[in-house]
Structure 1
Amino acid sequence: MAVLLAAALTTAGTAGLAQAADEAPIPVAITGTERLGLSLNGEPEEERYPQIELQLNAPGEVGEDEQPTPVHQGPYTVTIDATELKGFAKLKLPCAVQAGGLTAVCEENDLYPGGQFNPDYDIRVDLLAGAKAGDTGKIKVTGAGEGLAFTGHEVDVLVGGPEIRMKKLPAPPKGFSAGDTYAAPLAFRNVGSMSADGVLLRFSASRGMSFPETYSNCSYAEEDKDNLIRYRKVVECAFEGEFEPGKAYGTETPVKVATEKFAAYDIFGYWFSALGAKQATARVEGGTKGTGPELKLKEVPVGDAAGYGKYAGEIDLPANSKYDLDLTGSRVSGKQGETVKVPVTFANNGPAWIGSLRAGGEPFGFYVEIPKGAKVAKAPENCQEADSPAQYLCWADTPFLENTERAYAFELRIDKVIEGAKGKISLPKWEGGNPNEADPANDDGWIVLNGTGDEATPGDTGGTGTGGGDNGGSGSSGEGDNGGTDTGGSTGGAASGTDGGSEGPDDGGLASTGSVALLTSVAAAVALAAGGAFYVTARRRRTS
């Protein structure tokens, strides 16, 4: 029996190994930077950062609040081979650098779905003395590991190629406001050592903008429809021809950018790339073509070199839009020992939306004072105790669309009945006020417990009436809502029905501007002063 049992276990083990060997290897994609141009024009760099970023991607994805589980456990290696750059470049490589300094071998363990939790690699490339225009080579990246099938990746490196600088966009005309159309003169200068054989133009606009004209050599698309922070209407145009070094070129006619009535600090940006005529045309042919005339380029005077930059092609429009923030409390009655529901609403009555695009969708806060004689039995999930149990700090996520409101449902326990007890609901204040607030008079709201109806509630636009016989305004009680929930409607762009988003703005984003930046920075300071937690998700850099 013992012999038979041993034989059976041996057979089962062999079968298990055979089954594991028959499993298909897990595909692993190496993605990231595909092309790198190294300049010979002597322009100083703003920052010596890695120009090449690489990432490992495995099948599947990890949910936002999900604990990642490896799709593979075990050792593997990633090799970065830059020997083709010998003689004209030196590299700063990650991991273990081999003799000669142009090859690195990275030893890793475990792979996760997607790319967020997998290794990434930064590479810095600098020219050696004696490098000349036209020097070229490839950086080859490969991987190896049992049970894994890596897709190789190559980075094409070129010395002294075409280098594109965008012309800075002019300020809008005086009095420009939401609903007006901005005429964008798009132009670039080739500051490189070689001509560009064709270029690609890409321009984009956030939710509050649109393009009233289309062009036959351009394709049209929408990106990130489910994320209003990153949502863009995108146009790509292909241009053939030779664009010589030292010369500047611009569109024959400005590109019209229309703004919606709700627009406020929306972002228009453009970018020329020396992608090459073949690749540029292929990109445009693969999209939805415009129906209008062809957009053409012409040579233009170079002008002042300071008028061009790597990241100059962006503008925020318009800067003078108004929105009406409105905090509303409620009037509630109850007996001693009773717990009552107290709805609070925070509305943006428009006409402008609050996109907070430059701030990356940072939330902003407001204070809720608890009336005397009561304590919080249950607070909305978006609210937390601030300086004391009698004061709460609530957060409103952005974007905050026009003509929408958020409901916050508090539950208060009445420990002592105090007739006409009041608690103020207010936004943080800062010197000079908010220049984009259309009606500061309704920025405050009030909670009134066991009121008589004669209590002064300056700034409140009404308030809901609930509870035992207290006469107040009318409205939704917010029952069953334990957070800030949007109600109401909005008008405008294709993605206007979707609120929220957490990703950052387009690449090349500038510092936060305008009252939204003021609002969010003040709220952040309030949070720190109150000891509140500010949750920030750090995301690894990505390349496209």
Structure 2
Amino acid sequence: MRRPVRRAVSRAVLGFTAVAALSAGSFATVPAFADGGTPLPVAITGPNHVDLSLHGDNGGPSQPQVTLRLAAPGSDEPGEGGGVIPVAHNGDYKIKIDASGLKGVAAVKLPCQASGLTAVCEGNEIYAGEQYNRLGDIRLDINDDSAAGDFGSIKVTGEGEGVDFAPLTIDVLVGGPELLGRKLTEPAGLAAGDTYRAPVGFRNAGGLAAEGAVLHFHGSRGLSFPDGYGNCAYKATTTGSLLHQGIDAICTFSGTYQAGTAYALAEPLKVRTAGFALNDVFSYGFSAVEAGKAKALLAGDGYTPGTGAPLTLEEVPGAASDYTRYTDLDLPSHNTYDLVLTGASLRGEAGDTVKADIGFRNDGPAWISALRSGGEPISFSVAVPEGATVTKSPDRCTFTTIEAGTKGYRCQVDTPLLENTKVAFPFELRIDKVVKNARGKVALPSWDNPFETERSNNTAWIVLNGPDDGQGTGGPSTGGPSGSPSPTASAGDTSGSSGTDGGSGSAGSAGGPGDEATGSGGGLAFTGAGGALLIGGAALLALALGVVVVLVVRRRAAA
């Protein structure tokens, strides 16, 4: 084992990888012995059980099933003293890993100083808590000797002066129950507002029978489950990130489910789609859990038991091959929304500063879930009218080249995006020279989007000293010299990564706190008509420091 550096660890520099980062100076420690001279209690932690599939679906070679750590008294949360994590123990110690119980059962790759089926990890410091006390990883695989029902254990023990190590035993089962879910397909013509009758079931592809089973299923925000079965419990999440809102359910089943046999729910599981639903995710999976242990799941973590008749399983004769480890479906795949941009028609004299509140809204009926992309933002461009300079731009807008030869701003709207979202993007422009009917184009990109129903309102204009019609293309919006109030989104409008915030968060930050709907910040001063950039001392410094980078988060939903 690589020895930890003999210094306190700062959480701020370690981050998620827990790589030792050094800083000069003294470190906080506690005695090697606990109060009263008794040895310091330290637990060896890791999973208690690992199942290995006979089908070889045990993850890639670089994906260990076991990560061993040490858990010492005290907190690994940064507290007073500059966020320093104290050292709980100073003194040599050894951790012994004995995997000889897996001989003839499975292949094992051990960490530290390994020889055959045993290994020794050495160290001389143990930090408070568990996060920074990583020993190493264990990778398990089946081999030519592996057979269904083979069972063995890995025993991990420790020794060191002044430390009392609690050992860890990891049981390994080969070819146990392996419940694969039945694949799903969307019925032809399913529309938003319809109810999908899901033929939920599983096949035991393992080598042993399952004594009991548990069904987990999830529906994202636009889905619901009208039936409340008595052997199921339900939990609705309606706050926080829109990416994670929805309904989760757990159902328990007693009985024996034989290897090589398929089973299905006695009746299809009803999945109701909302009128705003579009590409919402329904997912489910079965796991082999003893009935007694499974019942404890129904009482935990905010789940509410159903009150209806129990859901039951029936054997399916002649099991087919249409079963998979991960089962999910987008529902419905057909719905529409209407994204609308609104511009501004402004008047002023040379030297005046005017406000242009660019509007962005979704007129629905569908929301933009973006569940598969993890909240990838929608962008639109803003060009500056001739004779004007942008003196202040919204935080979510970045100065850039918006098309060949044209400088302007690229603005971001986070997704998921609710079906009634309204967001204002306030710009402040100084009129340097009065140019009659000067126009700056505001536009969504030209995209092949089958869900967008009306493309004509994807473009709007900022008009300076134009005809007195009071409108920029895309809808009414007026402005005047700065000092007049800027319009705000209505109290019920939401967008971005939160179901309660009034606006989207910073670009690419879906899942985090949202900005105010009309929040703005300082941008580079920019003059329209060809993109002549006016750079003062402060702006030159900002340019030297770099440009804003939009991080687009991508994930695949896996419920």
TM-score tier after normalising by the smaller chain length: 0.7 to 0.9
Distance 1:200 1:78, change over 3 A: farther
TM-aligned CA deviation for residue 53 of structure 1: 5.1
TM-aligned CA deviation for residue 440 of structure 1: 1.6
**Take 2:412 and 2:78, find their aligned partners in 1: how far apart are those partners?**
27
Contact 1:367–1:391, Cα closer than 8 Å, also in 2: yes
**Of 462, 466, 469, the match for 2:476:** 462
Matched, 1:35 2:49: yes
Contact 1:201–1:238, Cα closer than 8 Å, also in 2: yes
Distance 1:403 1:464, change over 3 A: farther
**Take 1:401 and 1:295, find their aligned partners in 2: how far apart are those partners?**
34
**Take 2:34 and 2:48, find their aligned partners in 1: how far apart are those partners?**
34
Contact 2:223–2:280, Cα closer than 8 Å, also in 1: yes
**Of 24, 42, 65, the match for 1:52:** 65
TM-aligned CA deviation for residue 349 of structure 1: 1.4
**Take 2:487 and 2:494, find their aligned partners in 1: how far apart are those partners?**
20
**Take 2:159 and 2:438, find their aligned partners in 1: how far apart are those partners?**
71
**Take 1:19 and 1:74, find their aligned partners in 2: how far apart are those partners?**
7
Contact 2:336–2:453, Cα closer than 8 Å, also in 1: yes
What TM-score do you get using the length of structure 1 for normalisation? 0.75
**Take 2:56 and 2:324, find their aligned partners in 1: how far apart are those partners?**
11
**Of 91, 96, 99, the match for 2:115:** 99
Residue in 1 aligned with 2:467?
452
Counterpart of 2:294 in 1: which secondary structure? Answer: helix
TM-aligned CA deviation for residue 221 of structure 1: 1.3
Counterpart of 1:413 in 2: which secondary structure? Answer: strand
TM-aligned CA deviation for residue 159 of structure 1: 1.0
Residue in 1 aligned with 2:351?
337
Show CA shifts across 1:279-309 (max 9, x none).
212212444210110000000134431x011
What TM-score do you get using the length of structure 2 for normalisation? 0.73
Residue in 2 aligned with 1:206?
220
Mark the runs of 5 or more structure 1 residues left unpaired by the alignment: 1-15, 470-474, 480-484, 505-530
Show CA shifts across 1:318-342 (max 9, x none).
1111111111121222332333222
Matched, 1:293 2:306: no
**Of 422, 438, 445, the match for 1:428:** 445
Q: What is the one-letter code of the residue matched to 2:386?
A: K
Distance 1:417 1:78, change over 3 A: farther
Residue in 2 aligned with 1:186?
200
**Of 169, 173, 182, the match for 1:158:** 173
Show CA shifts across 1:488-529 (max 9, x none).
4479xxx8546777469xxxxxxxxxxxxxxxxxxxxxxxxx
Matched, 1:129 2:144: yes
**Take 1:406 and 1:147, find their aligned partners in 2: how far apart are those partners?**
61
Distance 1:438 1:137, change over 3 A: same
TM-aligned CA deviation for residue 437 of structure 1: 0.9
**Take 1:449 and 1:148, find their aligned partners in 2: how far apart are those partners?**
76
Residue in 2 aligned with 1:308?
323
Residue in 2 aligned with 1:440?
455
TM-aligned CA deviation for residue 346 of structure 1: 1.1
**Take 1:164 and 1:302, find their aligned partners in 2: how far apart are those partners?**
16
Distance 1:290 1:487, change over 3 A: same
TM-aligned CA deviation for residue 61 of structure 1: 5.6
**Take 1:30 and 1:362, find their aligned partners in 2: how far apart are those partners?**
41
Counterpart of 1:386 in 2: which secondary structure? Answer: strand
Contact 1:466–1:477, Cα closer than 8 Å, also in 2: no
Residue in 1 aligned with 2:267?
253
Residue in 1 aligned with 2:256?
242
Counterpart of 1:98 in 2: which secondary structure? Answer: strand
Residue in 2 aligned with 1:262?
276
Matched, 1:85 2:102: yes
Distance 1:121 1:373, change over 3 A: farther
Q: What is the one-letter code of the residue matched to 1:253?
A: E
**Take 2:130 and 2:485, find their aligned partners in 1: how far apart are those partners?**
43
**Take 2:84 and 2:218, find their aligned partners in 1: how far apart are those partners?**
37
Residue in 1 aligned with 2:4?
none
Counterpart of 1:390 in 2: which secondary structure? Answer: strand
**Take 1:315 and 1:406, find their aligned partners in 2: how far apart are those partners?**
31
**Take 2:429 and 2:458, find their aligned partners in 1: how far apart are those partners?**
23
Distance 1:425 1:98, change over 3 A: same
Distance 1:335 1:221, change over 3 A: same
Show CA shifts across 1:469-497 (max 9, x none).
9xxxxx98348xxxxx8854479xxx854
Residue in 2 aligned with 1:7?
none
More displaced, 149-158 or 351-360?
149-158
**Take 1:122 and 1:160, find their aligned partners in 2: how far apart are those partners?**
22
Contact 2:342–2:472, Cα closer than 8 Å, also in 1: no
Contact 1:408–1:478, Cα closer than 8 Å, also in 2: no
Counterpart of 2:372 in 1: which secondary structure? Answer: coil
Count how many residue pairs are aligned between Structure 1 and Structure 2.
Answer: 477
Distance 1:489 1:160, change over 3 A: same
Distance 1:426 1:185, change over 3 A: same
Matched, 1:403 2:420: yes
TM-aligned CA deviation for residue 105 of structure 1: 2.3
1:164-179 correspondence runs (5 A):
164-171=179-186, 173-179=187-193
TM-aligned CA deviation for residue 107 of structure 1: 5.1
Q: What is the one-letter code of the residue matched to 2:486?
A: S
Show CA shifts across 1:157-177 (max 9, x none).
101211111110122x22211
More displaced, 439-448 or 192-201?
439-448
**Take 1:31 and 1:154, find their aligned partners in 2: how far apart are those partners?**
9
Distance 1:538 1:176, change over 3 A: closer
1:100-119 correspondence runs (5 A):
100-103=116-119, 105=121
Residue in 1 aligned with 2:522?
none
**Of 224, 233, 236, the match for 2:247:** 233
Counterpart of 2:371 in 1: which secondary structure? Answer: coil
Distance 1:62 1:130, change over 3 A: same
Show CA shifts across 1:391-433 (max 9, x none).
1111111111111211212122222221211111111113xx3
Residue in 2 aligned with 1:522?
none
Q: What is the one-letter code of the residue matched to 1:396?
A: V
Matched, 1:272 2:286: yes
**Take 1:142 and 1:410, find their aligned partners in 2: how far apart are those partners?**
65
Q: What is the one-letter code of the residue matched to 1:165?
A: L
Q: What is the one-letter code of the residue matched to 1:367?
A: S
TM-aligned CA deviation for residue 106 of structure 1: 7.0
Mark the runs of 5 or more structure 2 residues left unpaired by the alignment: 1-28, 513-546
Counterpart of 1:467 in 2: which secondary structure? Answer: coil
**Take 1:353 and 1:102, find their aligned partners in 2: how far apart are those partners?**
55
Counterpart of 1:281 in 2: which secondary structure? Answer: helix
TM-aligned CA deviation for residue 241 of structure 1: 0.7
Q: What is the one-letter code of the residue matched to 1:383?
A: C
Contact 2:344–2:472, Cα closer than 8 Å, also in 1: no
**Take 2:166 and 2:439, find their aligned partners in 1: how far apart are those partners?**
66
Q: Identity over the aligned pairs, expressed in percent?
A: 40
Contact 1:51–1:125, Cα closer than 8 Å, also in 2: yes
Contact 2:266–2:313, Cα closer than 8 Å, also in 1: yes
More displaced, 54-63 or 374-383?
54-63
Distance 1:137 1:351, change over 3 A: same
Residue in 1 aligned with 2:486?
477
Contact 2:184–2:199, Cα closer than 8 Å, also in 1: yes
Distance 1:19 1:269, change over 3 A: closer
